[in-house]
Each structure stands twice: as structure tokens, then as C-alpha cells.
Amino acid sequence: METSIEKRVAELENLVFLSKNVLSFDEASKFLNLSKSYLYKLTSGNLIP
């Protein structure tokens, strides 16, 4: 039963991400599955906005 609940929570989290226009840095890191340090490197190098 926990697996089912965990799966539903994950699906709801994905829906929340998709419904937002702007993500926080932490949310973007989770959404893109990138470490915060790598995401910072990309943004500081103007490789992504």
C-alpha cells in the first residue's frame, strides 16, 4: 500500500511542477534532476537562463 501512496505523491508533485510558470532554484534542480552546484554552474555561465 505504501508503494501506491508514494507513487500517487510523486505523480502529484509532477503535476505541481508542470502547473507552475516559474520554479524556485531547488524545484528546478529536482525537476531537471541536476545537482544544485551543476545548475548554478550552468546559470552562472549563461548556458541556461
pLDDT, tens digit (0-9, with 9 covering 90-100), for 18-33: 777 888 888 888 878 8
CA distances from 12 to 4, 8, 34 (A): 12, 6, 20
For residue 40, report the phi and psi dihedrals to the nearest 5 degrees: -65, -40
Does the model's pTM come out above 0.75? Answer: no
The pLDDT score that the predictor gives to residue 39 is 93
Grid cell in block for residue 3:
508503494
